[in-house]
Structure 1
Amino acid sequence: MELRLLKELVKKGEGEHVEFKLKSNHPEKIVREMVAFANTGGGKLFIGVGDDKSIKGLKDVEEDEYTLTKAISTYIYPKINFRSERIPVSIDRDVLVITIPRSIDKPHYVIDSTGNRQAYIRVEDKSIQASREMKEIMRRGRGERDIRFNYGEKEEKLMRLLDEKKSVTVDVFAAFAGIPRKMASNTLVVMVLARILEVHPHEILDRFTMSLAYQSN
């Protein structure tokens, strides 16, 4: 990548596929962004760029790249594909650009020092924790298999609820249908995979709506 292109990309700011980090002194936090990109639509991580779009660069880019590569190997499971590139921005400073493609092996997790693991996804310009439903959608959505399900009483209640509310959460659907939360969750996941519903992830509560493709049929 040339410096000119780097400046153009930085000028556009952070977004669904772009994240800026001024330094790499907290690599265990940076890997969250990488996992979120891999679990969503891929993206680029610019290290040496501030939130204010200032291009400061890194003085010891080799050390930063080594530290991050080690953190990626230590904290991310399963392993992700990525490519790193150094872009000189002055005589003694470089910006490190890490490109992470959309993964087919998702969900990927960040593993902390205690062994706990958490998946992240990208929503607009933020990396947020993935809900149970999002993790199931990622896990069961590997490949392009046709998803089949029986349209029964709970599915009929869901459609009636969506006609009224336009969007629902797992808990609202479970209460309306009078079914356990786990059953409501699984029903929504299956219907997203069947492309009847769309999921709208949020850091507090995911919402589910009718898919545009299904409505047009």
Structure 2
Amino acid sequence: MHYLFLRVTRFSPGYPHTHREREDTENIVNSDAFWRSFISKATVEGRIEHELWDFKETLPMWHATNSDGRAQAKVKTAEDIAAFANANGGCLLVGIRDDKTIVGIGDTERERENRVKALSDVLVELIQYPRQIWKIHQLLANDADGTERLCLVVIVPRAYEPVGVKGANGSYIYPVRHGTSIARENPEKLRHARIHDKNDNFDFLERLQQFVRDN
């Protein structure tokens, strides 16, 4: 079975500065073993959703049948990603139902490739930031029958500047994740909350590692 992998192997200037920090971050971000372990722990029945991650069966932008609905769905997807960056970082895991069943992002190779590309294109188009603030990691995970399914993990650091999303009317909005919900904030308020930040950071990954160790 063939899959199209769009990996980012170099991080932009705002990412961890030292070689060791970059290497450690890349090792976690690109580790299939870590993400499979994390999913197995985070999908235990009865476990509540967390501010640092969100599971989605699919993305509505992939299924919208008219231009208005598609435009709104694209903005919503971009907001989900930017909201992590404007809070404390986090990850969006796509291809996993609310009941934590792994379903993947498509049934055919062409469908999966098109959906990965569509997501990447939308984030580039709608997210306003000096550099790419997200990383799309493609992950093969087994469903209940043991069949490999392609899922996506979108990893987002805490940004040290406000991250905007271009809305359907052309104006910019600044979503931020509060717990498991999303609110829109004034960019100056977000900027003030980051007055001591020096760069984008992936500190949330340490919390995810601790979560895996503790559960």
- 3-state SS, counterpart of residue 89 of structure 1: strand
Give the alignment's TM-score, normalised by structure 1: 0.58
What pairs with 1:120-199 in structure 2 (closer than 5 Å)?
120-130=175-185, 132=186, 135-144=187-196
| CA–CA separation in structure 2 for the residues paired with 1:30 and 1:87 | 19
Does 1:66 find its partner at 2:113?
no
Q: Match of 1:21?
A: 56
Aligned counterparts of 1:87 and 1:4: Cα–Cα separation in 2: 12
1:38 and 1:66, CA in 2 relative to 1: closer, same or farther beyond 3 A? Answer: same
Amino acid in the other structure paired with 1:69: S
Equivalent-residue separation in structure 1 for 2:195 and 2:135 (angstroms): 24
Whichever residue aligns with residue 99 of structure 1, its letter is I
The runs of 5 or more residues in structure 1 that have no matched partner are: 146-217
Question: Matched residue of 2:183: which SS?
Answer: strand
Separation in 2 of the partners of 1:44 and 1:123? 14
Is 1:103 aligned to residue 159 of structure 2?
yes
CA contact 2:128–2:166 (8 Å) conserved in 1: yes
TM-score w.r.t. the length of structure 2 is: 0.59
RMSD value over aligned CA atoms?
A: 2.1
Q: Percent identity?
A: 23
Please give the residue correspondences for 1:12-91 in structure 2 after superposition, counting only pairs within 5 Å: 12-26=47-61, 27-59=74-106, 60-78=111-129, 79-90=131-142, 91=147
Secondary structure of the corresponding residue to residue 4 of structure 1? helix
Kept after mapping to 2: 8 A contact 1:22/1:49: yes
Q: Computing the radius of gyration over CA atoms, which structure comes out larger, 1 or 2?
A: 1
Please report how far the alpha carbon of residue 13 of structure 1 lies from its aligned counterpart in structure 2 after TM superposition.
Answer: 4.4
Q: Separation in 1 of the partners of 2:112 and 2:49? A: 22
Find the residue that maps to 2:96 and give its secondary structure. Answer: coil
